[in-house]
Structure 1
C-alpha cells in the first residue's frame, strides 16, 4: 500500500474549520488531494529535480521510521545544520512525525558557539548537510558529549569517518523503508501521532542583549499564523516559493516550509547559495521575501548595471524610472494617473520595467514582502514603481513572524500595516507594542523568568516601541530597551537613526553613540561592494577594505550621507562626528547577530577607545581591532583612523 493511499481523507488531525492541524497532517493532505502535484524542486548539477507530494510523503515517512530506529523520540530536539536542501526539510518534518522537533542552526556558527544552540531539548541526534558541518559537530561532541549520533546528507568526504560513528541519511532512509515494509501499519501511525500542541520547531532569539533564548513554536501557533496571513490576502495556495533564507531563521521555517506545506505550494531550492541569483531567475517565484538590505543590494545591482550599460539603455532608464516613481508616489497618496501617465507606464513596462523584473527573477512576484527592520523610501518606491507590489510586514519569532502587514489599501513608507486577521495589537502606557493571537508562543524553553517577563494575561510584550495610526496601521519605532537620553535630556532610539543611515547603499553597518553624552557621534562600516564600485568609477585606487574606508573621498561621501539624515533630525539629535571603521561589524566577532542585528553592548565594549576619541577633541586615533578569519583563526587589524566632523 502506498503512502498516498494511507493518507486517505479524514484520518489526520484537523482544525475546527477542516484545515490540517499539523505540518505532518498537511503533508498527508497534500499527498491525498494532489499526489502528482510538485511539492519540492531542487537544482542539482544544473538540472531541477522534482518531488511530487506523494513522493515527498514517502521520503518523509522513510526518514521518520529510520530516525525512530536510531532512537529519536517524543519531545526531543533534533539538531539540523546546513544550507537549504530538500532532504533537510524532509528530515525536519520526519522529526515532527515522531513528536520530536527540529532545531536548525545557522551554518556559519563557529564551533565555540555551537553548544549555545544545543542547550535545550537534549539533542542526541544531529543532521549535517556536508563534511564541513559534520566536522564541527564532531568537535562539539568531543567537548560536550553531544550529539551522540551524527547523520550527513552530502556524501562527499564521508569516507574519512569511522563506520558507525557517523552515518549517511541514505542509510537512515534505507532502515526506515525496511521497517515500513515489515510493519504495514507504521506509516498510518506516523502520520497521526503528532498533535496541535506538539512543538514544531525550536528556534533561538537573536541574542542582541545576551545569550539567545530558546523559542518553541507549536503546530497550532504556525497553523494559526499561516491561516491569518492567508485570510488577509498575503499568502495564497499553490504559490511558487524560493527557499534561500537561512534555515535557522523564522522567516524560512514559517514563510517557506510551513506556508509551503499548509498551502500546497511548490518549494524551490537553489543549487547552492552562490547560484541563488541565477536559480531565482529560473524559478520566478510568485511570492518573495527578503530583508531590506537584500532589496537595497538588488537596487545597487540595477544601478551598477545601468551605469555600465549602453547609452541607449541608460537613456531609457533615466527617462522612465523617475516617471514611474513619481506615478507610484501619486498612487500611494490616493491620486489617479492621467491618460498620459498610464501610457508612459505601459510603454515603460515593455522597454524597462519588465526586463528589469525578469533580470531579478521577480517577473511573477505578485506578493513581495520585507521585514525585520525599516526600509528606505527610495528603495521601497523604486520596486513598487517597477510593478513589484512590495509591502512591509511586522512580526517576531515569538509570534511566528506574522503580526501585521501592509495591504494594497494600506501602503505607506513609515508603517507596517494593520494587524492580520486573528491578531490583536495594542500599545501600553509606556509605548510598548503588545500582541495577542493564537500564533503567539507559550513561553521560552526552560526559562520561566523570561516567559513571565514576556507574557502577561495572554499578551506578548514585544519589546518594541510604537504607536497605532487612526486607520489601525502600526508604526514601529525601535526597541523599548534602546530608548536612551543624552546628558541634556534629549530622548532618542539609536537604532532608528542607524536604520536611516543604512538606507544608503554605501553604508552596511553603523553604531550611533550619545547616551549620557552631550551630542551624537557614530562608527560607520561602509559597504565594500557599493563603495568599491563608486571608487572605481572615480579612479580611486585601493587594495583593501581598510584602505578604502580611510580614503578622503570616501570620508566626504559618508559625511554627506550623514548630513542628509541630519536634516530629518532635531538639532539636538544630529550626528556631529564620525569614524569610518576599517572593518565591518562581524557575527564571528560577536558584534552582530547571525541575522545582522547590532549587539550594542559588545560594540560599546570593543570600541570604547574610539567612542571616547569621538568626544575628546581628537582628530585621529590609532586602533587595533580584533578580527576572526574564516576557519576560526583570530588576529588583529591596526589602523590610524580619522575622526571627521559633519
Structure 2
C-alpha cells in the first residue's frame, strides 16, 4: 500500500515509507503469556490500514479526536496509526485515571471514538458515558469478563479489524490517498498536562513539530533502525509517546512492550533495550532495589561494592571535568566493571543500553552520578509538553549532574529578570485546546513560550534548572528557598519514597517524609522490629532514627553549597500513609501537588512549626498520634541538634 511519491511529513506517510523500506524488520514486540510476539513494519502498516477503513465506515472524521486508554501494547500504537491515517487527532489518556478524571478531557476534546484495553477501562468509560454524549464507539481489546456486555457503543478490536480487512481489500486506492492527504502543519496529538500547579491543559502538537524534535534527538544520539526502546511508562505522558511512537516513526527502531509491571526487569533483560527513558521516580525505585540487594550481600561483596562505587564516582567526576584518569583508577574501574558494575547492569536489564535519558521532573545530581558510576550512559533532558519534549539535552562527554545540558539544536533560550526560562523552538505547540486566552498568555507574539520554570545558563552554556517559579520563595531571614533541590537529595535515600519540604516565609525548613514501605519494611525485618502495617512502621522510634540519619547526611551535603546552606531541614515527621495519585496529592506522573498537600496536611505542618513533639490527627476509625522530631543541622563544620 506504499505510495512512492508521498512526502513523509506526517506519521502515516512515515509508516508507509517504513513498510516499503524495512517491511520485514520488527516495529513492535510484546511479551504475552511468556512468549515474545513481533509485529513487522509491513504488518503494522497493513493492520493500521484495515483499522482505518473500519473507523472510516464507523464515522471517524478528519480532525476528530480519538482517545486511547490502556497500557503500552502493540494494538494501542496500531490504533494510533489508524487514527492518524484518517487525519484524526490522538488523545492518549492515563490508564490509571479514575472515571471522574476522564470526564474533563473526553468532554473538552469532544471525543468520538475510544480505544480501551480491557474491562477495567471499559467500565470507567461506560460510567461516564451519560456525561460524554459525543462518544460514538468504544473499541476494547481484551474481552475477558465482557461476554455479557450488550451496549451499542462497544465493539471488539478483533471484530473491528475483521470488518476493516474486508473493506480494505476493495478500498486500497482510497486508503492510499487518505494517508497522503495531510501535512506537517496538521494537529497530530492532544496531550493533557499533569496539572501540577493548576487545572490540566490540553496541548495540541502537530506532526511537523514532533517530527522535527525527533529528528534532532535522533541525529544528536546517532539513533538507527537497529536500536531497541522499551514502552513501560504511561502513554498519557508525552515522554512515553515520544519514545514509543514519534521517534520510531522517524527512525524506524523497534519498541518492546513488557508483559506487566511485575515482570518489567526480567523482560528488560530479555529485550535488551539500547535506548531507554526513565523518570526520576523510576530511577529512585531502581536505586532502592540495588541498595537492598547490596544490603543482603555478604560482608566482602558489600565492601567491594562500596569501594568500587567510590572509585566510579571519583573517575566520573574526573572524566566530566576533563582530568586525566590515573593508571590505578583505570585498572580498578576495569576490575569493578567485571565484578560489580556489569552484573548490576544485567540485573537492571541495562547491559545493552547505549544511551538513557531521564526526564519528567527534576532529579538529584547524586542519582545521575550513581547510574553513570554503574557504566550506564544516563543523561538528563529538559522540556515540556508545550515545547515538543526536547528543549535541552546533555551530550556525550559533557555530562554534568547539576545541569540538563545545552539547548537542543534549533532551540533558543532567554530569561526574564526573575530567571524564568523562555523558549522558542520548532517543536512548539500549536495551541492550548479551545483556550486562546491561555495560549496568548503563555506564548507572546514573537513566539517565546513562558515555561514557568526558573533557571539560568552557566558559563559553560549548560542550562541549570532551579524549580518551578511558583514554588520559589524565601526564608524569613531573606535566604532564597526552592523546595526541589532539597527534596531530591532527601529522596536519594532508598528509605524515602517522597519528601515535601516547607520554608517559604518561615524561619526554617521542615519536611513531611513518606517512607518507602518495601525498603523500610525489609530493613525492619532484618532487625527484628515488629509492626502491623504502614502506619505502625512509620511510627517506630527506630524508623525515625533511620530517617533522621538520612536527613543529617543531606544537611551535611547542603551546607557545602552556600546557596543551600541555610535551607537545611530542621524538623520532620513521617506520614502514616503513602502519598498517592488516587488521593489527589500527586499527579498521574508522580509529581507533587503542593497546594493540595499543604492544605490537606495543614495540621501537621503547623505542628512542626509550633515546636511540639507530636500531633494528634483524625484517621479512619479514630485518631492517631504522629511524632515530630528535630533533625541535625550543620553549623561551623560541626553537627548540632536543631533548636
Structure 1 unmatched ranges of 5 or more? 1-5, 14-19, 626-634
Tell me the distance in 1 between the aligned counterparts of 2:453 and 2:526. 41
- The yes-or-no answer on 1:134 pairing with 2:135 is no
- Residue 566 of structure 1: CA displacement? 2.7
Aligned-partner Cα distance in 1 for 2:484–2:319: 30
Give SS of 2:23's match: coil
Q: Quick one: distance in 2 between partners of 1:138 and 1:184?
A: 34
Of 360, 363, 367 in structure 1, the residue corresponding to residue 348 of structure 2 is: 360
Whether 2:78 is the aligned partner of 1:90: answer yes
Task: Identify the residue that residue 549 of structure 2 maps to in structure 1.
Answer: 560
- Measure the CA separation in 2 of the matches of 1:636 and 1:81: 36
Aligned-partner Cα distance in 2 for 1:116–1:80:
15
**CA offsets per residue over residues 121-169 of structure 1, 9 Å max, x none?**
2102111100010011000103443523211011212212116341101
Q: Does 1:428 align with 2:403?
A: no
Query: What residue is the counterpart of 1:628 in the other structure?
Result: none
Corresponding residue of 1:78: 66
Cα deviation, residue 319, structure 1? 4.3
Write the distance in 2 (CA, Å) between the matches of 1:184 and 1:444: 36
Aligned to 1:579: 573
Alpha carbons 2:30, 2:73 under 8 Å: kept: yes
Matches within 5 A, 1:117-132: 117-132=105-120
- The answer to which of 294-303 and 304-313 deviates more is 304-313
Matches of 1:306 and 1:573, distance apart in 2: 32
Equivalent residues of 1:96, 1:194 under 8 A apart: no
Instruction: For residues 217-269 of structure 1, give each alpha carbon's deviation from its aligned partner in whole angstroms, at most 9, with x where no partner exists.
Output: 11011011111112322644431011111110111111221111210001111
Write the deviation string for residues 455-505 of structure 1: whole angstroms up to 9, x where unpaired. Answer: 011111111000001121000001111122334433312233222222222
Who is 2:428 aligned against? 440
After TM superposition, give the deviation of residue 100 of structure 1 in Å.
0.8
Q: Is residue 189 of structure 2 the alignment partner of residue 201 of structure 1?
A: yes
2:373 corresponds to 1:379: no
Q: Does 1:639 align with 2:599?
A: no
- Give the 3 Å change call, closer, same or farther, for CA 222–561 of structure 1 in structure 2: same
**Do the aligned residues in 2 keep the contact of 1:436 with 1:459 (CA within 8 Å)?**
yes
Instruction: Describe how 1:40-439 pairs up with structure 2 within 5 A.
Output: 40-162=28-150, 164-233=152-221, 235-310=223-298, 313-439=301-427
Q: Does 1:475 align with 2:464?
A: yes
What is the rounded CA distance, in whole Å, between the counterparts of 2:596 and 2:302 in structure 1? 44
Deviation string 1:409-465 (CA, Å, 9 cap, x unpaired) is 321110000011111112222201111111011221111221111101111111100
Within 5 Å, which residues of 2 pair with 1:618-629?
618-624=612-618
Do the aligned residues in 1 keep the contact of 2:107 with 2:132 (CA within 8 Å)?
A: no
Range moving further from structure 2, 459-468 or 577-586? 577-586
Residue 203 of structure 1 deviates from its aligned partner by: 0.7
Of 498, 506, 513 in structure 2, the residue corresponding to residue 524 of structure 1 is 513
SS of 1:615 mapped into structure 2 = helix
Any gaps of 5 or more consecutive residues in structure 2? 632-643
Quick check: 1:97–1:193 contact (8 Å CA) kept in 2?
no
Partner of 1:450: 438
Contact 1:60 1:93 in 2 (8 A): yes
Residue 10 (structure 1) aligned with residue 17 (structure 2): no
TM-superposed CA distance for 1:277, in Å, is 1.5
The residue number in structure 2 matching 1:513 is 502
Alignment of 1:457-472 (within 5 A): 457-472=446-461
Q: Which moved more, 1:124-133 or 1:496-505?
A: 496-505
TM-score of the superposed pair, with normalisation by structure 1: 0.93
- Report SS of the residue matched to 1:408: coil
Q: 1:608 to 1:287 in 2, by over 3 A?
A: same
Q: Is the 8 A contact 2:481 2:503 kept in 1?
A: no
Match of 1:486 in 2: 475
SS in 2 for 1:337: coil
The separation in 2 between residues aligned to 1:332 and 1:636, in whole angstroms, is 55
CA shift at 1:326, angstroms?
A: 2.2
Matched, 1:536 2:525: yes
Structure 2 residue 595 is the aligned partner of structure 1 residue 601 = yes
Q: Distance in 2 between matches of 1:161 and 1:148?
A: 16
CA–CA distance in 2 between the matches of 1:188 and 1:102?
20
Helix, strand or coil at the partner of 1:596: coil
Alpha-carbon separation, structure 2, partners of 1:460 and 1:237: 33
Deviation at 1:595, TM superposition (A): 0.8
Once residues 544 and 222 of structure 2 are traced to their aligned partners in structure 1, the CA distance between those partners, rounded to angstroms, is 42
Determine whether 1:614 maps to 2:603.
no
Structure 1 residues 377, 437: CA separation in 2 closer, same or farther (over 3 Å shift)? closer
Classify 1:636/1:34 alpha carbon distance in 2 versus 1 (closer, same or farther; 3 Å): farther
Q: Report the CA distance between 1:331 and its aligned residue.
A: 1.3
RMSD over aligned CA atoms reads 1.8
User: 1:119 aligns to what SS in structure 2?
Assistant: helix
Separation in 2 of the partners of 1:183 and 1:616?
73
TM-score, normalising length: structure 2: 0.94
Distance in 2, Cα, partners of 1:340 & 1:512: 42
SS at match of 1:133: helix
Structure 1 residue 316: Cα displacement: 4.1
Change (3 A) 1:163 1:466: closer
* Cα gap change, 1:637 to 1:496, in 2 (>3 Å): farther
Note the C-alpha offset of 1:561. 2.3
- 1:578 is paired with a residue whose SS is strand
